[in-house]
Chain A
Amino acid sequence: MPTHKKYIKWLMAILVLAAALLASAIVGLSVGELKLSLADVWRMLVHGGEADSMEYLLISQVRLPRVILGIAVGGALSLAGVVLQGIYRNPLVEPFTLGISGGASLGVAFTIVTGLHLAFGSFMLPLFGFIGAFVIIFLVYTLSTRRGSINIQNMLLTGVMISFIASSAMMFLMATTSSDNLHGIVFWIMGSLDEPDTGLIYFTLIAGLVVLGISYLFVQPLNALRLGEEKAMHLGFNTNVVIRVMFLLASLLAGICVSVAGVIGFVGLIIPHVLRLMFGHDYRILLIGSFLLGGIFLVLSDVVARTIISPNELPIGVITGIVGGLVFLVLMSQKRKGN
């Protein structure tokens, strides 16, 4: 068992973040148009409640799925962000830089414009969102691979260009469709944790946890990649395989998130940065820490989005952008003062 002070600090950080995630989940369950006390929420979580009481139904049917999706999407987007920043060695990369959101948005816009969701059911929206994201991931991957090796800089540029093309194609659909469809597309793009299909919610959570587990098996090469591809290879890692596996896992995970919750920007960019400011650049803490802090951030952002103009609801992307940006600026200025 490692006893170095660095590991003890990380362990403490993970415990604190896990406790904060639990606390934010309880806040998320208690706050809303109908406010429940934290004690009531805790009691219902631990002991259950009267199955037909309004409070219990509100928590179990409405707020709990929303909180779980917040944890799943926030955690997964942050994890995808930190992994992609690691393999690209670029702190400005996030899942959406590579066109994943553009592809998913295009898929959803296509579904809405063609009315597939009306003909076959609302599950067509996440399905086509994921197909759109997958097509973009496939294009970025294949266009960046030459003779079996992958060019990481080409990959980034290809992703950015394909992202522009996908966004333009979506704007074309938006410009030529009816105002009802346009409203549906814009509403979806803004992002929301209001997903009626609990199966999709649990699938997103499990996908995030599985990718977290697999990423941890690649934590050593991710750390070695901080020195560059060639130097990581000198330390005994097949960087070509590591980059491919991690790119595909992170992108597919981001694709799932966007398909289920829409475009919730900033999380994958800001959370890894906040963690780096707090704990340094080691992926052994960044991977787990990003998942936990991403979950906390999105659950609390959703609480703000639901309550700030209650009974109306703000798009969650608005909150993640404003709050995340402000918190980041404050942390940066504190770090500068510390230095």
Chain B
Amino acid sequence: MSEAFFRIDNFSCGYPGFKLSGINLSLEKGSFNGIIGPNGSGKTTLFRGITSAIATLEGTISLKGQQLDRLSLKERAQQMAIVSQFVDVDQVSVEDYVLMGRMPYHGRFQFFESKDDYEIAHNYMQLTDVLKHKDKLMTELSGGEQQRAAIARALTQEPELLLLDEPTSHLDITHQVRILDLLHRLNQEMGLTVLMVVHDLNLASEYCDRLVLFNDGKLFTQGTPDEVLTFDTIEKVYRTPVITRTNPYSNKPVIFLVSEKMMKETKASES
């Protein structure tokens, strides 16, 4: 049996008062994956566990057959890049911010970026459409532009796996679609494996090849959007009634919310 590109085995991690346990997950190279689930289900905890922001209690995570905890932090950063929910920046130019993505490749005595570093950074800034802003401060960019710069910085690490924690959660629909289109393009054209925590089930359905659904600190189910985003599953995990249909253009499941008002009106019209 061939080794999975990214694999999580019997993994547990958590904080005092919340524990994520018994997680088994494997990702194929070049796949686009979404982690979904209600608030407090453990999505971001898993994300922080994978990125070693919180300690592993049990189990292993491996990338290309190598256990992550046996790699140095620099080796990890060369293979796995992370885009957080909020782009937390101080007074730094967009170009300098993106160039930080080359840090994992610098030795202790390399104090300055090389010509190659600039070429790589400019290439990804071009791809994410932030090269025109290179001399601006990050704080002068809009939320969507900041997120694109963060993706450019992550790509400048030249990783094989890109992890994103709700990259579109505070963006309007135009920027949500732009960011996810960009990620999809990178996934298709560069063969980049993507694992993304996402709240919006319809965006997850539209862009992800596979979805992993969390509930109460456990992996509830995983599979294609068709397999995961069913009426029963959503109602059970999110504890809210929904309507599931199929997008006539993409043939992917679409979730419609059912409000209390809508239910009352429906009942009234039926009676």
Contact = CB atoms under 8 A, between A and B. Distances in A.
Contact of A2 (B89, B104, B108, B112): B112
Nearest to B105: A236
Contacts of B76: 236
A227 B73 contact: no
A2 B51 contact: no
A220 B106 CA distance: 9
Contacts of B157: 235
Contact of B81 (A2, A89, A234): A234
A224 B73 contact: no
A27 interface: no
Interface string B74-96: 11111001101000111111001
A236 B73 contact: yes
Given A7-B112, A231-B88, A233-B53, A238 B73 contact: yes
B118 interface: yes
Interface string A210-238: 00000011011001101110110111111
Contacts of B82: 231, 234
Given A7-B112, A217-B108, A220-B103, A226 B92 contact: yes
Nearest to A223: B100
Contacts of A89: 90
Interface in A266-292: 276, 280-282, 284
A35 interface: no
Nearest to A282: B96
Main secondary structure of the interface of A (DSSP, over half): helix
Nearest to B89: A227
Interface residues of B, number: 33
A236 B103 contact: yes
A321 to B, nearest CB: 26
Interface in B108-164: 108-109, 111-114, 118, 157
B232 to A, nearest CB: 37
A337 interface: no
A4 B116 CA distance: 12
Nearest to B78: A236
Interface in A240-294: 276, 280-282, 284
B122 to A, nearest CB: 12
B123 to A, nearest CB: 16
Interface of A: 2, 4, 7, 89, 216-217, 219-220, 223-224, 226-228, 230-231, 233-238, 276, 280-282, 284
Given A220-B111, A223-B100, 8 more contacts: A4-B113, A220-B108, A226-B92, A234-B77, A236-B72, A236-B74, A236-B76, A276-B91
21 contacts: A2-B113, A4-B113, A216-B111, A217-B108, A217-B109, A220-B106, A220-B108, A220-B111, A223-B103, A226-B90, A228-B88, A230-B53, A230-B84, A231-B82, A233-B73, A235-B77, A236-B72, A236-B76, A281-B90, A281-B92, A282-B96
